[in-house]
Chains A and B, each alone.
Chain A
Amino acid sequence: MIEIKGLTKAFGGHSVLKNVSAEIKEGELFSVIGPSGIGKSTFIKCIIRLLRPDGGQVIVDGQDIASTTSEFTLARVRRSFGYLFQEGALFDSLTVLENVAFGLKYLTDIPKGEYPRIVKEKLALVGLEGVENLKPAELSVGMKKRVSLARSIAAEPKYILYDEPTTGLDPVTTGMVKDLITDMRAKLGITSVVVTHDVRLALEISSRVAMLYGGEFVEVAEPDVFRRSENKAVREFMEISHLSRK
């Protein structure tokens, strides 16, 4: 379980997260929505300590990582996570096989000889085959995203964090990524946190949706309840996204 209590983060005097609290339960698909630049990526990066919060707690399986300075503690906790970056963040100099196998070397004790089989398996899970020897530059945007997802799940993490998983994708690939996210939860039982400005996606796939606005969660609810929210920020955002209650 991930517990976030009173999370705060500012950049150069500009407060992005003012008081964010949430409890993400095992097996849940928790989505955070909000306009671009509101601090969604900051929130998700604080969860895995890619950014150090200014205040508050991030408790992952009982271990608070918000303020720890121990590299070993952070490395241990990060082992439970997979992270899908907005642009994929694949290593340019490595092939698809090396990219997907990268985490296996550091996160598991699996013998090196097993890597090709596992990579093939994970690539098949995201609907790719025969791309092991290609470099990221030879892949389309959608393929990059899928390879990145295969890399995130290669070491079989307990949690996956998705940072804007459908940004920049065409409708077909968006649908494919949406199915992949729900599949990961259904097939592997992975707890997922998705940050997105795509309200439709969040409402379709999530068990709970949170709206980040003004540095805090102004609404956290199941999709059906969320659609009927009376919160002004939620209503405006839904209307802008053409998803009013009607």
Chain B
Amino acid sequence: MRSYLTEKVGHQFLGLAEAMGAAALMLKSVVFWLFFAKFEAAEAVKQAVKIGVNSLTVTILTSFFTGMVLALQMGHSMNNLFNEPMYIGTMVAFTMLKELGPVLTSIVVAGRAGAVVTAEIGTMKVTEQIDALYTLGTNPTRHLLVPRYIAFMITLPLLTVFADFLGVLGGCLVGTVKLGVSPSVYMDDIYTYLQISDFMHGFLKTFFFAFMIATVSCYKGLNTKGGAEGVGKSTTEAVVISMVLVMVMDYFISSLLVAVGV
């Protein structure tokens, strides 16, 4: 029993170490082609549209309703505690800008765009289209990975700014209509207590999340094996890993940013 467990754990550990090594090599290749080849701007724009613009509707819905429910819950809690819906604007804005804006947007992008990237690259892998790139004078890192990394790094922070704004707007709507807080009071709460560093705290995190989602999606796509079933497996794994890592990374990056005063 012990030997079976040891073997199983050891096997898993070796697999993880191997995957991390391969991902590190992939990153090395991305850096190399980013600086030593002509930048494929058209492909990067195409990917930015696929990843960013196509995630806009889901981001709008998610952030707007999150802002609304935050205002609703906090308003009722404040009413119970102080008989008045105090500081709704401050609380909604703090929560959206520092945590929920970046985290929810990253989860949405990982689930939608990350899955698309993995499925697309995975399908290319199993149908030898990746090999074809080599034979046609380019390579997958230059043609597929670099444009996708850039697209993720540009669009996720922009989507997050959008999500922050819409979340605050959703909170304002509920504050005004359901809780009787005037928009001017709601906005005044935000202006009084919120600082630019609060916005930067959430905004900076998105660059780490974007980098991680791009790495996981591209790595899983490039390592797809076994036809259509393999593509499905890789896509599911990429989405699950990205979502879990967003949560895990969120704690550690937040700790780091708090420690350096952001």
Contacts and interface: CB of A to CB of B under 8 A. Distances in A.
Interface string A43-72: 001001010000000000000000000010
Interface residues of A, number: 25
A188 interface: no
Given A89-B127, A92-B123, A83 B132 contact: yes
A106 to B, nearest CB: 3
A87 B128 contact: yes
A117 to B, nearest CB: 19
Interface in A99-119: 102-103, 105-107
7 contacts: A48-B134, A78-B135, A89-B127, A89-B129, A91-B124, A92-B129, A102-B136
Contacts of A85: 128, 131-132
A89 B132 contact: yes
Q: Main SS of the interface on chain A?
A: mixed
Nearest to A84: B135
Contacts of B138: 106
Q: Which of B123, B132, B135, B139 has the most CB of A within 10 A?
A: B135
Nearest to A91: B129
Interface string B123-165: 1100111011011111100000000000000000000000000
A13 to B, nearest CB: 16
Interface of A: 45, 48, 50, 71, 75, 78-79, 81-83, 85-87, 89-92, 102-103, 105-107, 151-152, 155
A48 B136 CA distance: 11
A155 B124 CA distance: 22
A94 B62 CA distance: 33
Nearest to A93: B120
A152 B32 CA distance: 27
B132 A91 contact: yes
B136 A151 contact: yes
A155 B32 CA distance: 26
A89 B137 contact: no
Contacts of A78: 134-135, 137
Nearest to B46: A93
Nearest to B120: A93
B134 A107 contact: no
Nearest to A50: B131
Nearest to A51: B131
Nearest to A48: B135
